[in-house]
Structure 1
Amino acid sequence: MSNNLNLILVGGGHTHALVLKHWMAHPIDNVQITLISPHSHSPYSGMLPGLLAGYYTFSQTHIDLQQLAHEANIEFIQQPVTAIDHLRQCIYLADGQQHQYDIASINVGSTPNPEIPGSQQHATPVKPIAEFLQHWQRLQTEIRQQPNQRIAIIGGGAGSVEVALAMAHALKPWGTQLSLITRAGDILSEYPRKARRLSKERLALHGIEVLTNMNVDEIHADGLSCSGQKYSYEHIFLCTQAAAANWFRQSGLATDQRGFITVNNYLQTTTAGNLFAAGDCAHFQSEPLPKAGVYAVREADILFHNLQAACQGTHALKPYQPQRDFLSLLAMGDHYAIGCKFGLTVSGHWVWRWKDQIDRHFMARFNAG
């Protein structure tokens, strides 16, 4: 009978990928690790706009989880998780498998928010990125054969602006008309005024229509309706506020009002001390955080320490202390970017080169070979 501890990592997000790199450098005997993910490759969200625009390849922007698991000498299971029983310490997979754990961690990101009627049938969410990229490839083929189509992107945050500009760059030769639609009074509402102004200038430069104060009532097969008025589009993409996976609540895990897993300062779920969560799927109880990749990356060191501490039981857990502000770099198309921190805004091609260097440096940790 094995005396190994079973550590299961649910999801192949940024945090877990970095945890595995740390673990490879500092392994613990008698700990058997299993990584479970529905996909074999995990996208690095910071490089998504560049991938859409054609600046990067798939392999440059994705972490190969199978290869990472092979290098870490751990088991990799490519299956969606459907439930966790924290009392029995059991994880249930879509294919019927059940896996017992001693310690587990969840880093599965977020899911599409189906709050707009018709969105599940007639729109494509940007997340999960894997499914979105498959649709994007089909769309490019279609537009090359049938140009002059109309595309709507619903959302007014940083992701929607970046996606709109990347699409405009990639589809420019085929006369595609893009609209960015938000119910807010302005795009990038949480960014400095200068960043908003520069972003609108870039959108106008690329011929992207910006429609504000537009609350989408319903999405149809041939467009959408706002306040009783119909707008025609061949394709509609959702880049709105993401939602939590349904199985969090259905599994009886403590969540916030939106369904994200509640964690304490040590990234332990408030449900069970041997169950951790990080990244977008987690709700930091003491200080709710924006859903931003920078937090997922910064949480990795703390999660790694605390998972090892939980396995060994010999040293104290460390609290995660979120940074008060972080550098936000937004891709604006044509190798141009905007950077914001502490209320200051800079822009230019040099900012893109800066962003490109940071992104490539992150991915080099996984794609060095």
Structure 2
Amino acid sequence: MTTETGPAGEWRLSVAPMMDWTDRHCRVFHRLLAPNARLYTEMVHAQAVIHGDRERLLGFDAVEHPVALQLGGSDPAHLAEATRIGADWGYDEVNLNVGCPSDRVQAGRFGACLMKEPALVADCVAAMHAAAPANVPVTVKCRLGVDEMEDYDVFRAFVDTVALAGCRVFVVHARKAWLQGLSPKENREIPPLRYEWVHRLKRERPDLVVAINGGLATVEDVLAQSPGLDGVMIGRAAYHEPYRLHLMDRALFTPSQAPEERADLLRKLRPYVEDCLGRGVALKHVSRHLLGLFHGQPGGRLFRQVLSEGAPHAGAGWELVERALAATTRRGAAA
């Protein structure tokens, strides 16, 4: 299936935008692990895009494509301007956050609280859609609802309202959010998952691209949810245990190919790391994203320890990564 935004397959596997985590270094690492995945920035407020340090906020490496810019905000004019800027920087997609439940986000009247204002979200999407080039889709990441909203028809009406404004791609976190009384972490765990709502939406709105997010942590989860939908979005599992992302990419796109070894994948990052070091970027800014690569493996704790203790020191370079790998190998051999 194709839409005016491009092939639905472009969203078959993606990595969720995660604050303080999915920065440019993380995304380059994830691209090595998952050559076919769609990557997302951390959420950036539209005002920050307009007035902030754009190189710091928007800069990315060419290997990250396809990569999407996620925006926060609720002012159509500001979001339109930020969309123009993001497209000029070369992003392949601009996504509007209608799912984050944090107090700080709510105070700014954006994120999940916008589920209560579908007409405003539609105005924002229409403005962004008008500002974006034809080859840069404007998409929405949302929840099933917020607070007492427990009605599938209300959720579908929200999607229909926003779709009429020009959004053809919806990434749905298959939980509602409680705006009061639960922390963001609790909002990722306590409200029940309703995968069936997302599948029903796709059946009833087959012209839309619908991807599912929430609680998907294993290859088995991904393969179970993929049929009938246009994609799956992986969140914290891809960060805490990044090798799982590699296994998911293989299972979805090249199931006949054996997965690569963790050490081989990591060594492919060396040119990027050394380029960063040459530009004055401290190793710790890259290495923090690597700590979970050997999670659950013999020597995994030593790998994490060597990296986390050594990377903050001035002058730490690639040789520290090799020491961490060597420690893992020794522990694995001993086991």
- Per the normalisation by structure 2, the TM-score is 0.28
* Structure with the higher fraction of residues in strand conformation: 1
Q: Structure with the greater relative contact order (CA < 8 A, sep ≥ 6): 1 or 2?
A: 1
The structure number with the bigger radius of gyration is 1
* Structure with the higher fraction of residues in helix conformation: 2
